[in-house]
């Protein structure tokens, strides 16, 4: 049967080749089909090739991440501190030192990537704790950055709290809702920072974190509220867009790069033009399209109020170190305590305090938010819950939206310790002050300690023997004297003394200083 169907096709092909119709005079569908056959495979091959390359990189990064060791540090904030969020800017700036220049082999063969740090604030049934998750090799850097400005803080290693909760839903005991946040506009536009919350009259900072901690303290038994901000030092390519925007606001145009031939001609022509300008005071560079330093100066530009504010905000953000940032907020509770209607406003509103409608603000990344408004959303509701919880527990950098870039001033505004004027409720605080050992404290080495200890032991044993002999002699003399006294007392007459007629008040019993009640904890 197949040869019978092939006969008409072959005849048509022979007739077409005999006629030799020009290619572009053929029907449009034939032209497009031929183009697809000849060149259509190229974009498909490029897409598949790039996909396989990214799969390989993700696989190698997964293998590399298995070799890393992480530690979760709980920070008990000092009860009385006068430090502002400015103190933590130095900590976040020092984290940029963990960035290294990755080679081609490290990126594509080893799977190495830049380290990330997770700064978290959690509320476990109303009790608030500040946490930092980092690689073990950066633990000293984190602790030094905190102790430098908060010497009374206490830092201890704790277990990961998030692993105690399920990441597969529906679950018989727990329910979860939350989302991931990103910037609404490009990263070059800043959000409101702690500087803009300062009262110009009193000079006091109206800390927006105080409102957040108050809300976290409202968690009831069985409720948990988590805030997670992951930062990763990376390249500063994001500032190029901001610099281009500043140049556009001030009317500066970027000059196109000249070719090698044009640059050579300019260098040859500029020398005689400079000689003529010095001799006669006449600039002939304009005739040849060559500009000197004086002609390059641009006039002063007066911007409108809104553009002036935008330019100042852009310059303030671009002038400080920036890092990629991912923010996730989760609300987890037992089913009998889960109140999504009441806590949804908290999840969405915590970051609205930092919104500047003229510049930038945070918004939910909708593809990552579990929603059940329509029936097709309910089909993937539990899947989004699983993805969001898994990303939170693993502190994932790849799951979710693309990272937003914030500078250290913005990061310190989002995560810092309560200031002096704010009395944080139920925040885990340091119960004792941290102090260093005395400078003149004697220190001995192990070998010297053993030798000296052996000599001192022999001397002490000799002294003990001598003291023991002296004590035995003294005890013998004391016993002889005591025997003589007893004989004298036994031979003497004892007078008959009557007890007093008036009642004698007994001395009240008092407990000695070394008495310890049985129920008193030691």
The answer to whether position 356 is within a domain reads: yes
- pLDDT band, very low/low/confident/very high, at 350 (cuts 50, 70, 90): confident
Give, for 485, the enclosing helix (H) or strand (E): helix 446-491
pLDDT at 489: 45
- According to DSSP, the residues that pair with 226 across neighbouring strands are 122, 330
Whether residue 69 contacts residue 143, with contact meaning beta carbons closer than 8 Å, is answered with no
User: How many separate domains does the chain show?
Assistant: 1
The answer to whether position 513 is within a domain reads: no
pLDDT at 464: 60
Q: Is the pLDDT of residue 11 over 90?
A: no
Whether residue 297 contacts residue 288, with contact meaning beta carbons closer than 8 Å, is answered with no
The answer to whether position 427 is within a domain reads: no
306-332 pLDDT, tens digit each: 778 888 888 888 888 888 899 999 999
pLDDT at 427: 61
The answer to whether position 472 is within a domain reads: no
CA 253 vs CA 165, 296, 298, 356: distances in Å: 55, 12, 11, 29
pLDDT at 295: 45
In Å, how far from its chain's centre is CA 117? 4
Q: CA-CA distance, 335 to 177, in Å (whole number)?
A: 12
The answer to whether position 281 is within a domain reads: no
Q: Which residues form the domain of 212?
A: 70-240+305-414
pLDDT at 507: 46
Q: CA-CA distance, 268 to 287, in Å (whole number)?
A: 15
Q: Is the pLDDT of residue 300 over 80?
A: no
What CATH number is attached to the domain comprising 331? 3.40.462
- pLDDT band, very low/low/confident/very high, at 497 (cuts 50, 70, 90): very low
Q: Is the pLDDT of residue 68 over 70?
A: yes
- Highest mean pLDDT, choosing among 94-108, 200-214, 225-239: 225-239
Whether residue 369 contacts residue 179, with contact meaning beta carbons closer than 8 Å, is answered with yes
Q: What tokens does 60 get?
A: 């190698």
- pLDDT band, very low/low/confident/very high, at 244 (cuts 50, 70, 90): confident
> Quick one: average pLDDT of 284-292?
53
pLDDT at 131: 92
The answer to whether position 261 is within a domain reads: no
Percentage, residues of the chain above pLDDT 90: 9
**C-alpha angle 16-20-22 in degrees, rounded to nearest 5:** 115
Dihedral angle of Cα 301, 302, 304, 308, to the nearest 10 degrees: 80
The answer to whether position 502 is within a domain reads: no
The answer to whether position 283 is within a domain reads: no
- Highest mean pLDDT, choosing among 20-24, 219-223, 293-297, 342-346: 219-223
- Highest mean pLDDT, choosing among 192-206, 282-296, 327-341: 327-341
Whether residue 183 contacts residue 238, with contact meaning beta carbons closer than 8 Å, is answered with no
């Amino acid at each position: 049967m197949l040869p019978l169907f092939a006969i008409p096709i072959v005849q048509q092909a022979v007739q077409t080749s005999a006629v030799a119709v020009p290619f572009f005079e053929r029907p449009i569908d034939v032209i497009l089909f031929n183009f697809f056959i000849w060149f259509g495979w190229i974009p498909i091959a490029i897409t598949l090739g790039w996909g396989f390359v990214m799969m390989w990189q993700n696989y190698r990064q997964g293998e590399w991440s298995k070799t890393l060791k992480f530690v979760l540090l709980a920070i008990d904030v000092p009860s009385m501190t006068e430090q502002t969020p400015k103190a933590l800017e130095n900590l976040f700036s020092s984290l940029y030192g963990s960035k290294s220049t990755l080679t081609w082999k490290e990126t594509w063969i080893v799977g190495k990537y830049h380290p990330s740090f997770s700064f978290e604030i959690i509320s476990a049934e109303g009790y608030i704790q500040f946490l930092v998750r980092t690689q073990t090799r950066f633990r000293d850097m984190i602790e030094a950055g905190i102790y430098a400005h908060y010497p009374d803080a206490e830092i201890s290693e704790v277990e990961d709290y998030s692993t105690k909760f399920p990441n597969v839903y529906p679950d018989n005991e727990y329910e979860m809702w939350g989302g991931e946040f990103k910037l609404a506009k490009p990263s070059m536009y800043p959000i409101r920072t702690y500087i803009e919350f300062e009262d110009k009259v009193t000079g006091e900072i109206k800390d927006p974190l105080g409102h957040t901690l108050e809300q976290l303290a409202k968690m009831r038994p069985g409720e948990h509220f988590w805030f997670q901000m992951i930062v990763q030092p990376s390249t500063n390519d994001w500032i190029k867009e901001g610099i281009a925007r500043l140049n556009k606001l001030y009317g500066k145009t970027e000059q196109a790069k000249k070719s090698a031939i044009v640059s050579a001609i300019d260098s040859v022509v500029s020398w005689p033009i400079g000689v003529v300008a010095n001799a006669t005071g006449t600039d002939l560079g304009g005739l040849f399209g060559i500009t000197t330093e004086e002609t390059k100066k641009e006039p002063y530009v007066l911007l409108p109020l809104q553009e002036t504010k935008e330019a100042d905000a852009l310059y303030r953000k671009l002038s400080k170190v920036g890092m990629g940032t991912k923010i996730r907020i989760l609300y987890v509770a037992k089913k009998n305590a889960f109140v999504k209607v009441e806590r949804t406003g908290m999840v969405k509103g915590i970051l609205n305090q930092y919104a500047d409608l003229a510049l930038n603000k945070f918004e939910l990344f909708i593809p990552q938010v579990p929603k059940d408004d329509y029936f097709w959303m309910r089909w993937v509701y539990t899947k989004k819950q699983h993805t969001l919880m898994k990303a939170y527990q693993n502190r994932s950098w790849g799951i979710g939206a693309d990272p937003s870039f914030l500078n250290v001033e913005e990061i310190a505004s989002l995560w810092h310790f309560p200031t002096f004027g704010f009395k944080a409720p139920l925040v885990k605080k340091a119960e004792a002050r941290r102090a260093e050992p005395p400078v003149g404290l004697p220190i001995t080495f192990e070998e010297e300690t053993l030798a000296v200890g052996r000599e001192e032991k022999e001397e002490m044993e000799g002294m003990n023997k001598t003291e023991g002999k002296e004590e035995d002699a003294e005890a013998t003399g004391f016993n002889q004297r005591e025997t003589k006294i007893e004989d004298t007392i036994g031979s003497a007459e004892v007078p008959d003394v009557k007890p007093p007629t008036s009642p004698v008040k007994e001395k009240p019993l008092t407990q000695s200083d070394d008495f310890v009640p049985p129920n008193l904890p030691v």
